[in-house]
Amino acid sequence: MGWRLKAMVQNIIASLPFSNETYYLVQRSLGSLRPGRRDPREWLTAAVQMVNWIRSYGRDVAGKSFLEVGTGRAIDLPLGLWLCGASRVLTVDLNRYLSSTIVKESLKFLHDHRDQVINIFDSIEKDSLFQSRFDRLLNFNGGLADLLRMTQIEYVSPADAAHLSVDSGSFDFHISYTVMEHIPPEVIVAILLEARRLLKPDGLLLHHIDCSDHFSHGDKSISAINFLQFGEAEWNKLAGNQFMYHNRLRAYEYIELFKCAGVKIIREQQAIDENSLQILKNGFKLHERFRGLEPEKLAASSITIMGSFSEDT
């Protein structure tokens, strides 16, 4: 489906009563949530990468607690962290998107692709705890509530990640995966300020952000920077709905936001999209908001940021 047609469909659905339920049905019938299409390995891999980043800083996740911002339709990332030894994952979402059907399909995928899934965890030490937890997942046959209880995952939605009814100093790690790009900049700062309260004194933040035009994921006729040609008003008309909102911040702007919230950056890593870089060098027409910036600043398709509020960082 072309991106403009998709944008029109999303805007129509967003205007309907019960829009979230309608959009889910469309995704299940025609979109990325069609039965058998969704692959949980992306989120399991993300969990392992987070663990490796944390360990590279001399920390471990065994027996530690996580707060995840933005649950989405499934709990694959929290499950990956649990397999790696986490003792608690609180995952919160502004919208109640979590689907027991999608979760069940993820577990079936784990069962049907056991060896491939285990290989994802090759970079961590697969001790007896990992094996025990993995076997419990493979043999699990209950409902969503039972699964959450077994894996020590708590799901809270609707929940505002900038104002959570949770005790201060409750978490070791504050994380998200491809979520921050869907949040307005001022709200990101508020979420980070709340993270400062919720984290333990030596707690870490770890966020992976997708800076690309998400329409390009399904429409290969456009680039990852296609949306940089539009002004704010025009872009909001095209994709300002709850299903496709993207703040279009560039990677360097996230670093500035994190610093503005008092985060001390420990490590950051950007992925430069070579196709976008070439298009920019060939004169891609940018909206004035993005003109005058180095192509490398515009062509970053993602950024991972690890930071802390500790003075000892």
Q: Could you please report the per-residue DSSP string of 227-273?
A: GGGS-HHHHHHHH-STTT------HHHHHHHHHHTT-EEEEEEEEE-
pLDDT value at 311 more than 90: no
> What's the pLDDT at 116?
96
Give the amino acid at 30.
L
Q: Which domains does the chain have, with CATH numbers?
A: 39-308 (3.40.50.150)
> What's the pLDDT at 45?
98
pLDDT value at 291 more than 80: yes
CA–CA dist 35, 31 (Å, integer): 10
- Residue 133: name the closest of 123, 143, 147 by CA: 147
pLDDT value at 103 more than 80: yes
CA–CA dist 162, 67 (Å, integer): 12
Bridge partners, 207 (sequence order): 176, 305
Number of Cβ within 10 Å of residue 147's Cβ equals 20
pLDDT tens per residue, range 188-231 = 999 999 999 999 999 999 999 999 999 999 999 999 999 999 99
The pLDDT of 92-111, averaged and rounded, is 97
> What's the pLDDT at 1?
78
pLDDT tens per residue, range 43-64 = 999 999 999 999 999 999 999 9
pLDDT value at 180 more than 70: yes
> What's the pLDDT at 126?
79
pLDDT tens per residue, range 123-166 = 887 789 999 999 999 999 999 999 999 999 999 999 999 999 99
Whole-model pTM over 0.75 = yes
> What's the pLDDT at 194?
99
> What's the pLDDT at 113?
96
Q: Is 302 left (phi over 0), alpha (psi -120 to 50) or beta?
A: beta
Give the amino acid at 225.
I
> What's the pLDDT at 313?
66
The pLDDT of 282-289, averaged and rounded, is 97
